[in-house]
A = this chain, B = another copy of it.
Amino acid sequence: MTSQPAFRRVEPDARRASLIEACARVLAREGAAGASVRAIALEAGVSPGLVGHHFGGVDALIAATYAQVEAQVSAALDAAVAAAGPDPRARLNAYVSASLLPPIADNALLSTWIAFWSLVRARPEIARLHDEQYGRFRAGLEALLAEAGVPSPALRRTAIAATALVDGLWLELCLSPHTFAEGEAAQIAREGLAGLTSTGR
């Protein structure tokens, strides 16, 4: 009889993408402590050695996963803003609401983010990626706040406060999802944002 191939050869880029996806799933399911080379390789259906072969080490794989997940989140937020139309306030609300609604508020994704946070202290590369991500999120919020009429002097602080509000709700939504529903978190964020911006101008 003809034996089927023991494994399939895949071009490097596709294999790397496959490993990144598997890493994201493991991080979401088991947290940072469970994201071992062997667990990720098992999830991807390959041998442990492939991680070292394509990424050099598990740290680089996790960093790449961070970058990819963040790109997806960023794209989803941009899409939500674009779909909200031209009204500045509507665009602002869309940005904040989308951050706390599926698919971004998906529990697995939030767990993945927590895992990244827990690695910030130990991995300088992850810390650098976090700074970039936080800066991007706040810059996006600043731009929308400026559109909505928040005056320039208060812009930075209002954006920081709004970012913190969203992050805090996001965090609690992940740590204990039963405290409040996803929809409630988004509503609280919108109401809070109204309060924050009414003070600033």
Contacts and interface: CB of A to CB of B under 8 A. Distances in A.
Contacts of A169: 160-161, 164, 168
Interface residues of A, number: 47
Interface of A: 30-34, 111, 114-115, 117-122, 127, 130-131, 134, 157, 160-161, 163-169, 171-172, 175-176, 179-180, 184, 187-189, 191-192, 194-200
| List of 10 A-B pairs having minimum Cβ-Cβ separation, nearest first | A164-B168, A118-B118, A195-B199, A168-B168, A167-B168, A195-B195, A161-B192, A164-B169, A31-B121, A195-B196
Copies of this protein in the complex: 2
B164 A134 contact: no
Given A32-B33, A163-B168, A179-B134, A199 B194 contact: yes
Instruction: State the majority secondary structure of interface residues on A.
Output: helix
